[in-house]
Amino acid sequence: MGTPVSTIRNLGPAMDAACAKAGIPDAETLRALGPDAAYARLLQSGTNPHFIGYYVLVMGLQGRPWNDCKGEEKKALRVRFDAIKAESFDTGRSEFERTLNEIGVIARTSG
């Protein structure tokens, strides 16, 4: 096993656990996947989507503080986040069911 994911700037023990559950065992694998593919895997493994979590991951992989990105760069990240979420989170549910799940009203299905 390689270097823990939590050695990447902005990422901690919770990200170690989430990445392990998503089949991302170490920082080297996370870096090789890149933020978009890694975040898609996190969503597919049960992580609930949160823009700040995606944003922190992107900034960390760039070696930047989590709050370093602003303006147009942040807007572009939101577009990427929305696309990843649409393709990777609750893909077997209707839009209505996905919304209910996102706010915690219905249980997430495995798969």
12-67: per-residue pLDDT in tens? 999 999 999 999 999 999 999 999 999 999 998 889 899 999 999 999 999 999 99
Q: Is 72 exposed, middle or buried (0-12, 13-18, 19+ CB in 10 A)?
A: exposed
Q: Is the dihedral of CA 36, 38, 40, 46 positive or negative?
A: negative
Please give the model's pTM, rounded to 2 decimal places.
0.79
Close Cβ partners of 12 (under 8 Å, ≥ 6 residues apart): 6
In CATH terms, 5-102 corresponds, of 3.40.50.450, 1.10.150.20, 1.10.10.10, 3.40.50.720, to 1.10.150.20
pLDDT at residue 98 greater than cutoff 60: no
Q: How far apart are CA 40 and CA 3, in angstroms?
A: 21
Q: From 85, 102, 7, select the one nearest 44 (Cα to Cα).
A: 85
Work out the average pLDDT over 73-89. Answer: 91
Structure tokens at 32: 């090789």
